[in-house]
Chains A and B, each alone.
Chain A
Amino acid sequence: MADPVPPILDDEHAAFVCGGVSISAASCRSGGLPNMARATGCRVSADRRSITILLAATPSAGLIDDVRRNGAIAVVFSLPANHRTLQFKGNDARIVPLEAGDQALVSRYVQAFAGGLELLGYSGPLIRSMLACPADDLTAICFTPSTAFSQTPGPEAGNALRSGS
């Protein structure tokens, strides 16, 4: 049976979150203490109904633990060049196995993100260090975005995402 609700992401959003954007995720421990981690790549399923972020497990231990407990996640994507920022939240986040090609995806991501920042005057080696992840530490978290927001600074910040925003 076909799902009557269209996916939150349109094609353009999917291209944006898979581009050279900064990716950070937040979770929540019971009791209200948040955890956070930086991701080093992202892929979107063919039907655009799920987002998978790739991240180093060791520095993300707290977030991974929270995700295992309650599945709640918020992931923010921001393009430094123009500050365009999107946030997606879901309640079914789970640790999933890596797919073939994920390591290559991470390499391409680091290249794209560091390249964009170098154009803005940041040090490439610095950014690559910040994103470095040992191959055996790479982990994937998949979730179905149930809400989405534009967080580009300005009067529209915090508004629910519309197509093309």
Chain B
Amino acid sequence: MKIKLDSIRACLDGVIPGTIATCGADGTPNMAYLSQVQYVDAGHVALSYQFFNTTRRNILANPYARVAVIDPETAAHYRLTLQYLRTEQDGPLFEKMKAKLAGIASHTGMAGVFRLLGADVYRVLDIERVPGQTIAPPPPRGNLLAALRASAEQLCHCTELDGLLAQTLNCLELHFDIHYAMVLMLDAANGRLYTVASRGYAQSGVGSEIALGDGVIGVAAREKTPIRIGHFAAEYSYGRAIRDSLERSGVAPHLDTEIPLPGLPESRSQLAVPIRAGERVLGVLYVESPQDLRFGYDDEDALISLAGGLGAAIQLLQHAQVEPPDSTPAAARRHAPAGGPPVQVRHYAENDSVFLDGHYLIKGVAGAILWALVRDFADTGRSAFTNRELRLDPRIRLPDVSDNLEARLILLGRRLVEHQAPIRLDKTGRGCFELRVERPLELVHIPHGA
């Protein structure tokens, strides 16, 4: 039976470095070690081009190569016959390999030496099983297809975004044995991703932001491709990504609006998968582990499928009809009048940041939403709102019509809870909520440039 590339992907991650044999124009053979073999599709692999060396010279003169890879669990040995096709120097494949190489370089003490110049794409002409002794594979960690099925069944019962995100994180823990995860939504107009849900971290980090292109999450969103790293890589660690994005944003120092991104300080395995609806990236599902090589190609496949279902569900919920409150109309509900000392709500027009009693709460669209809500409450006593009217409210300036307002409201609601703020958003039905204010409000607006 012909061996399929799909069935030997575990051999490609470089646990046991592969080797490549090539021939020069004069028939002189050459042998070199490979730091990675990237699976491209069922008929292609890509090899990292890092130095202009003999291998490189040879394949440009004579495109045929042989590559040996070894299964890191069974010692099964395969030889691939390859034909060089082209080199890619940017784009999804290049970025995938660049991130993976950073992990490998760091793990092998080659940080600063290994640098990806290109992704050399090869057609796989043949795969040969080399005769030799093997050992029995360890028992499988779990059945990813079964995990996916169980998750899909649970997710289809979710009727609103907040529950859908929470259930996704539950499923990762329960069915995939993944205990560190977060979901970030894309604010495409501003080129940033913001955290709406997380699991496993001491601080939820909800509201934290990362620029498109920063770290595995930012690159996955920008390139619309999964990014997976099997070892700690300083250049993809989030401490650095945040620092860099801070420097670039040039935010005035008095507006200290940074919420730290959650994340393992020395993450050893990272996998970021774009959440898509058709061609559009809605966000990123990110998982990580303190263990080396925790995620393989099969995990990547499973999470892409999970994220595919998640993207479709998010899209569907966004277009769901508004369902009015099930019981008493919101306007008729009466709360005890707010008592206690007033809470100062300070709003900076510059970036729509909102501070409660001097403590930073939120900024951007979610900040603008809160400011509009509290203004309406203060001016007219109104407390019942619908998502639909907020979407059309000119004060909120959604970056674009397709922006996920529900995600902004989740973010705002979580931040208020985490701050134990005397202002809360209570859901009263699908697409409807009530502003609950427990202390008198003192509103302070700081205009732009003030």
Contacts and interface: CB of A to CB of B under 8 A. Distances in A.
Interface of A: 24-28, 30, 32-36, 38, 56, 58-59, 70, 72-76, 78, 83, 85, 87, 89, 122, 125-127, 129-130, 132, 149, 151, 153-154, 157-158
Contacts of A83: 108-110
B19 interface: yes
Contacts of A74: 21, 28-31
A59 B77 contact: yes
B148 interface: no
22 contacts: A24-B31, A24-B68, A25-B31, A28-B23, A32-B62, A34-B22, A36-B68, A38-B77, A59-B130, A59-B131, A72-B28, A72-B29, A73-B29, A85-B33, A122-B16, A129-B75, A129-B133, A130-B70, A151-B32, A153-B113, A157-B53, A158-B54
Contacts of B66: 26, 33-36
B23 A33 contact: yes
Contacts of A89: 28-30
B142 to A, nearest CB: 21
Contacts of B109: 83
A129 B132 CA distance: 8
A153 B110 CA distance: 8
Contacts of A127: 75
Contacts of A75: 31
A117 to B, nearest CB: 9
Contacts of B29: 26-28, 34, 72-74, 89
Contacts of A70: 27
A157 B51 contact: yes
Interface size class on chain B is 35 or more
A87 B68 CA distance: 17
Contacts of B309: none
Interface of B: 16, 19, 21-23, 27-33, 50-51, 53-54, 62, 64-66, 68, 70, 72-75, 77, 79, 81, 108-110, 113-114, 130-135
A17 to B, nearest CB: 14
A85 B33 CA distance: 9
A123 B62 CA distance: 37
A63 to B, nearest CB: 9
A34 B19 contact: no
A68 to B, nearest CB: 14
Given A72-B27, A89-B28, A34 B65 contact: yes
Contacts of B28: 28, 72, 74, 89
Contacts of B33: 76, 78, 85, 151
Given A33-B23, A76-B32, A89-B29, A125 B135 contact: yes
Contact of B27 (A32, A35, A130, A154): A32
A24 to B, nearest CB: 5
Contact of A129 (B51, B54, B131, B135): B135
A132 B133 CA distance: 6
B101 to A, nearest CB: 12
A28 B27 contact: yes
Nearest to B23: A28
B272 to A, nearest CB: 26
Q: Which 5 A-B pairs have the closest CB atoms?
A: A26-B21, A34-B21, A36-B21, A26-B29, A132-B133
